[in-house]
Structure 1
Amino acid sequence: METYIEGFIKYLTDIKKSSKNTILSYERDLRKFFSYLESVHIQSIEKVNHTNLNSYVLYMEKENFAPSTVSRNIATLKAYFNFLFKQNRISQDPAQLLKAPKIEKKIPGILTVDQVTLLLSQPSGSSNKEIRDKAMLELLYATGIRVSELISLTVDDLNLTSGYIRVHEGGRERIIPFGTAARQALKNYLDNAREGMIASEDEKSLFTNCNGQPMSRQGFWKVLKQYAKRAGIEEDITPHTLRHSFAAHLVENGADLHAVQEMLGHSDVSTTQMYAKFSNYRIKEVYAKAHPRA
C-alpha cells in the first residue's frame, strides 16, 4: 500500500500542482487510514469497500475527531480512491458515495481596524529584531499571504520600487501589491536591519531569525503572540487572523470579491464569499447595538 501513497503524492505534486501543505495533509490522513486498515486486518487496498470506509468514519467520530477533521479525511479518501480508480488500480471506487458531516461555518476571528493599527504599532524600537518584526507584520496585513508564504519569501520575490511581492505556491505564482506603510517598513528593514541579521551574504531568505537562519512558522507565531500581548489584544490571535482581517477589511470597504480571491490564492470564489457574509454580520451587529428599537 506504500507504493500507492507514493503514486498519489507524485500525482498531487506533478499533475495537480497542489501546495506543500495540502500534500502533507493528504499524506498524513492516508497514513492514519492505513493504520486503521491494519488494525482491522485489511492488508490490500483492493479489498477496501464502502462498508470499511463507513466504519472508518464512525471510528473517527467515536474517537471524538472534530467534524472539520472528519470532513477533511473524507475528502482525502475520495480524492485518493478516485485517483486509484482512474489509474485502473481498483475496479470500483468505494469512496464515491461517502458523505461528509455537515459543518457549521463559523465566522473567522477578525480584528478591528483599530486593533490591527495597535498591533502593528507595537514593534517601534530601533533594534534589528523590532525593525524586522515591523516589516513582517506590516507585509502580512498588507498582502493577506499565509505565514508559510511569508517565511518562504526571498529577496528576489520583493519589488520594493513597484510595491509588490511574488508568491509561489504549488507551482503557481501570484503577484500581490502592498501599500505605503508596508513599503516604508520593508525599506527600513532592508536598509538598516537585514544585513545585521543574516548569517551569510548568500542568504536569499527575505526574513531570518536572530541566528541568521530562515524564519520558521513557530518563530513567527512567537513574534505575533508577543506583540498581541503587548497591545492588550485579548482575542485568541493566530497568524491566520491577520489574513482574515486583511480580506474582511477589503471586502467591508467595497473591494471586488474576485480581486480578493486572486490575492488570497483561493481556487474557488465561494471560499472568499465568507468575508462578504462577515461584512453583513458586522452591519447587523452594529445595527443591533446602535438602533434604539433594534
Structure 2
Amino acid sequence: MNVQMEEALEQFIRYVQLEKNFSLHTVREYQSDLENFFTFLQSEGIADIAEVDYIHARLYVTKLYDEQKARTSISRKISSIRSFFRFLNREQHIDDAPFRSLYHPKKEERLPSFFYEEELAQLFEKNQGDEPKQIRNIALLELLYATGMRVSECVGLELSDVDFHYSIIRVMGKGRKERIIPFGQFAHDALTRYLYVRSTLMKTNEHQKVFVNLRGGELTARGVRYILSEMIEHASMHTKIYPHMLRHTFATHLLNNGADMRTVQELLGHANLSSTQIYTHVTKEALRKTYMNSHPRA
C-alpha cells in the first residue's frame, strides 16, 4: 500500500472510530475491506485514489464474484468502499461517483434457521446439572433465548446491566444504541442460580462481565459458540447450532405466539422493519411444514 492510500485509510479509520463511534468489530471490517481494495488497485497499476473510476469499481466487483464471495460479503465491501469515497469527497473533494453508481447484489433468499419448541425443550432438559459449568451453560442458553441478544451483546454484559427486581436487561447494540429487554422467570431463576456459583468460576480474576469461562476470564463469542455446540452434542441432537440461531428462534416464537412486528423489531434492535419481516416468512414456512406433516390428505 503506497503512502497516499495508507494516510487516507488512517484518516478514515479515525473518522469511523471517533466521529461515528462504530464498534471495534465494524472498524476492523472497514479496514479489511479497504486494504483488500487497495491491493486490487495496485495490481491494476493505480497509485492515486483520484484515478479510480467506474470501470475499476466494476472490475473489482467482478473479481469478487469470480472468487465466489457471498453476496452479503460483496454488498458489505461495496458499502465500505462507498463510505470511504464519500468521506474523501467531503475531505479532499475526490469524486465518489464510481462506487455510488454500483448496485448492491440481490440478497440470497435464505430463511433463518430456528429451533422448534420441542427441540429447545430437549436441549434444556439434557443439559441440566449441579456443576458450576452446567449451571453457567443453562443460564447462558436461557438468556440468549429469553432476550434474542446478539452474541456480542451477551458477552459484553456487565453485572450492573441486569435488573433482577424488574427482570430487565440493558443491552448496548449496534452503533452504540442502548435498548432495554425484559426476560422471563426461567431466565431469572437460571441467572440467579448462576450468580451464586460465578465466584467459584472467577477464581482470582476481577472483572464485571456476567459470563465467565472456566478459567475465570471474560467469556468470548468464540467461547459461546463452543459451549452451545457442546450442549447440542450432549443432548444427542443431530443439528448445528450457532448463537444467532437462538436470536432467530426468539423472534420466530414471539411471532408464532401473537407478538406484533413492531415489538419484535424493538426487542431485536433492528433499525428497519424490513430486517424483522423475514421472520414472517419463517413462521409461514413453519405453519406449512406442520400442515404437511399433520393433515391426513396433505
> Where does structure 1 lack aligned partners over 5 or more consecutive residues?
none
From 219, 226, 231, the counterpart of 1:227: 231
Of stretches 245-254 and 276-285 in structure 1, the one that deviates more from structure 2 is: 276-285
State the Cα distance separating 1:101 from its structure 2 match.
Answer: 2.1
CA shift, 1:82, in A, is 2.2
Q: Structure 1: which amino acid aligns with 2:179?
A: R
Letter in structure 2 aligned against 1:185: A
* Whole-Å separation in 1 of the counterparts to 2:35 and 2:249: 34
Question: What are the superposed Cα offsets for residues 238-273 of structure 1, whole Å, 9 maximum, x if unpaired?
Answer: 111111101111111111211111111111110011
The aligned counterpart of 2:138 is 134
Show the 5 A alignment for 1:233-272. 233-272=237-276
- Paired with 2:11 and 2:245, the residues of 1 have a C-alpha distance of 35
The answer to whether the 8 A contact 1:17-1:172 is kept is: no
CA distance in 1, matches of 2:132, 2:276: 36
List per-residue Cα deviations over 1:144-164 (Å, max 9, x = no partner).
101111111111111112111
| Post-superposition offset of 1:111 | 0.7
What RMSD over aligned residues (CA atoms) do the two structures have, in Å?
Answer: 1.7
User: For 1:182, what is the secondary structure of its paired residue?
Assistant: helix
Deviation at residue 233 of structure 1 after TM alignment = 2.2
Superposition map of 1:167-186 within 5 A: 167-169=171-173, 170-186=175-191
Q: Map 1:13-28 onto structure 2 (within 5 A).
A: 13-28=17-32
Q: In the alignment, residue 176 of structure 2 is paired with which amino acid?
A: G
Contact persistence 1:42–1:48 (CA under 8 A): yes
Residue number in structure 1 paired with 2:106: 102
Q: Does 1:289 align with 2:256?
A: no
Asked whether 1:218 is paired with 2:217, we answer no
Q: CA deviation at 1:278?
A: 1.0
What CA distance in whole angstroms lies between the structure 1 residues aligned with 2:285 and 2:102? 33
User: Which one has the bigger helix percentage?
Assistant: 2
Which of 39, 45, 55 matches 1:41?
Answer: 45
**Contact between 2:171 and 2:180, CA under 8 Å: does it hold in 1?**
yes
The answer on whether the counterparts of 2:71 and 2:108 sit within 8 Å (CA) in structure 1 is no
Alignment coverage as a number of residue pairs: 293
Pairs within 5 Å for 1:153-168: 153-168=157-172
